[in-house]
Structure 1
Amino acid sequence: MGSLQKTAACLLFLSIFSSASHGQLATFICSDVKTEYNKTATISCISSKKITNVFVKRCENCNKQTSCLESVINTWAGKNSSEEGRIRLVLQHNVSEVHIQEVKATDEGGYKWHLHSEAGERDGCTTLEITAPETEPNLTRNGTKLTCLSPLGHRQREIHWFDGHGTNLTGSASLVSEEAEGGLTSLTSTLHEKSNLTASEYCCTVLYDVHTKRNKTKCLSAHKAVADYLHFTSTTDPESPKTMKEHVATILVLLFLVLCSFAAVLYYKYRQRDERAQENVLNQEV
C-alpha cells in the first residue's frame, strides 16, 4: 500500500512538473515593424499553440516602463479595437495581428504585449518605426534673406546650412517648427546674409537620420538667385538677361553695317584707281 502511494505521488509530481515545463516552453515570436507613413502597419506575433487572449499597450520606449500609456487591445476586457477601428486585432489560431491603418508619426514607438495561449503566456515588446516622406527642401532667396522649407517630416530631422566651400553656417540661421498633419512637422530655416557672411553659393541640407546621415540637399548660386528673382517678377530691369541679348544683337547689326560701308568705300576707291589707270594707258597710246 505504501508503494502504491509513493507511485501515485511520483506520478502526480511528474504530471505537475510536466505541465509547468510545458508552460515555460511556450514559444512566441514577435518582430519589429517598419512601415511608410500613411500606410497600414501590421504587428504580428506567432505562438507554438493557439492564442486565447491578447493585451497590447502603447509605449514611447520599450526600455522605459513609465513611458507606457494606454492599452490599445485587451481581449480580457473585450477591447478588440480602438480609435474607432483604426487599430484592430485579428486573431487566428496561433497568430495574433494588430493592424494599424493610416499610420501617423505619433504611432511610432514601442508596443508592449502580453499573450496567453494553451501552452502558457509571455510578455514582450516590439517597436514600430514610421518612415516619413523625404521631400526635397524648397530653397528661396529674397534680397539678403535665404529661406529653406522642409514641409513634412519627423520631429527628429534637422536643417543645416553650408556655403560653397563646405563651411557650416547653421549657427547663423533661425529655425521655426510647426505641427503638420499626422503628427509630422514643418520646418522653416532662415539665413540672413551679412557683410561678414557672403558666399558665391548657399546649400540647405535636411538631415533625416543622424546615424545614417541620410539627407537631401539643395544649393543656390548667389548670382543665379538674383537672376531668378528678376525673372519671376514683373520688373523691367534694363540689365536683365533678355535686354542684354537685345543689346548684343544690335551691336552685331551695327558692326555688320560698318563693315559693309568700309568694304563699299574700298571698292569705290579701287574702282576709281582702276579707271584712272585705264585712262593713262589710252593717253599714252594716242
Structure 2
Amino acid sequence: MGSLQKTAVCLLFLSVFSSASNDSFVTFICSDVKTEYNKTATISCFGKNKITNVIVKRCENCNKQNSCLETIINTWRGNNSSEKGRIWLVLQHNVSEVHIQEVKATDQGGYQWHIYSDGGEDTGCATLEIAAPEIEPSLTWNGRKLTCLSPRGHPQRQIHWFDGHGNNLTGSASLVSEEAEGGLTSLTSTLHETPTLTASKYCCAVLYDVHTKRNKTKCLSADKAVTDYPHFTSTPDPEIPKTKKEHVPIILVPIVLVLCCFAAVLYYRHRQRAKPKGIFRPIKDPPSNSETT
C-alpha cells in the first residue's frame, strides 16, 4: 500500500513539473514588417494564450546583443504608447500589435518583445524595414566640377561615379551628408575631375540597396544628344527678336538706294540730251569781200 502511495505522489509530481515546464516554454511568433516611408507600420506577435502584459524595446539589430536599449512600450507601468501617441499598443486576446504612424528612417531596426500571458512568458524580436523614397539624383556641371545631389534617402545609400568607358571614378569624389526630414539624409557628391569635351560620358549612380544593386543613375553626355543627358557644350544665346522701331532703318535703306539710282538715271539721260546741242552748234560762214567793202 505504501508503494502505491509513493507511485501516485511521483506521478503527481511529474505531472505538475511537466505542466510547469510547458508553461515556461510557451511560444509567441513575431513577424517582420516592411513598409514605405511616412506610412503606418504594424508589428505583431501572436500565440495560443491570452496576453496580459507586454514590454517592447527598440533595437539597432535583433541579432546584435546589448543593442536593445530604448523601451517604447511597458504595460506594467501603464505605458501603452510613446512619442506623443505616434507609437501605440493594441492587445486583442492572444495578439499583440504595435502601430507606428508616419514611420521615419530612424524607426527602422529590431523590436524586442517580452510577452506575459496566462500560460507563461516568452521573448521574441521582429525587424521593421523602411523603404525610403528613391528620388532620381540631379547632376550639374559648372565648367570646373561635376556635382551629384541625392536629396532624400536612407543614410546607408551610396553614390558612385563612372565615365563612358565604365571606369570607376568614385575615389576622385568627395561626399557631404546632411540631415533631412524624418531621419533621412541628403547626399552631395562632387567629382574632382574637370570634365572635357573629349570625355564621352560621366555618370552618377545612387545605390539604394547593396544586395539587390537597386539604383538610379544620371549621366552627362558630351558626344550625343540624349534627352536626359545635358550637353557639356554650351548653346549659343537665342537671337533676340527686333522691334518695329528697329525694323524702320532696315526698310528705309533699300528705298533710298532705289531713289538714288532713279535720280542718277534721270541725270544721265538729261546730260545725254544736252550734249549734242553743245557739240554740233552750226558755225556761221565768214563774210565775203564784197560785203566787207
TM-score w.r.t. the length of structure 2 is 0.74
Q: Distance in 1 between matches of 2:136 and 2:99?
A: 31
Matched residue, 2:59? 59
Please list every run of at least 4 consecutive aligned residues from structure 1 whose deviation after the TM superposition is greater than 4 angstroms. Answer: 195-198
Q: Taking every aligned residue pair, what percent have the same amino acid on both sides?
A: 77
Matched residue, 1:276? none
Paired AA for residue 28 in structure 1: F
Task: Note if 1:142 corresponds to 2:142.
Answer: yes
Matched residue, 2:20? 20
Q: Distance in 2 between matches of 1:198 and 1:172?
A: 19
Paired AA for residue 99 in structure 1: H
Matched residue, 2:172? 172
Q: Which structure has more helix as a fraction of its residues?
A: 1
Change (3 A) 1:195 1:103: closer
Unaligned runs of 5+ residues in structure 2 are 224-229, 240-293
Matched residue, 2:275? none
Paired AA for residue 86 in structure 2: R
* CA positional deviation for 1:10: 3.2
Paired residues of 1:109 and 1:127 also in contact (CA < 8 A): yes
**Structure 1, residues 157-214: CA drift from partner, whole Å, max 9, x if none?**
1111111111111111111110000110000111243389961211110001111111
Change (3 A) 1:20 1:197: farther
Task: Note if 1:50 corresponds to 2:56.
Answer: no
* CA positional deviation for 1:67: 1.4
Matched residue, 1:157? 157
Matched residue, 1:85? 85
Change (3 A) 1:195 1:113: closer
Matched residue, 1:39? 39
Q: What secondary structure is seen at the aligned counterpart in 2 of 1:20?
A: helix
Paired AA for residue 128 in structure 2: L
Alignment counterpart, residue 225 of structure 1, candidates 228, 231, 237: 231
Change (3 A) 1:108 1:198: farther
Length, aligned pairs only:
233
Change (3 A) 1:218 1:196: closer
Change (3 A) 1:195 1:88: closer
* CA positional deviation for 1:126: 1.2
Unaligned runs of 5+ residues in structure 1 are 231-236, 244-286
Paired residues of 2:89 and 2:99 also in contact (CA < 8 A): yes
Paired AA for residue 29 in structure 2: I
Paired residues of 2:145 and 2:194 also in contact (CA < 8 A): no
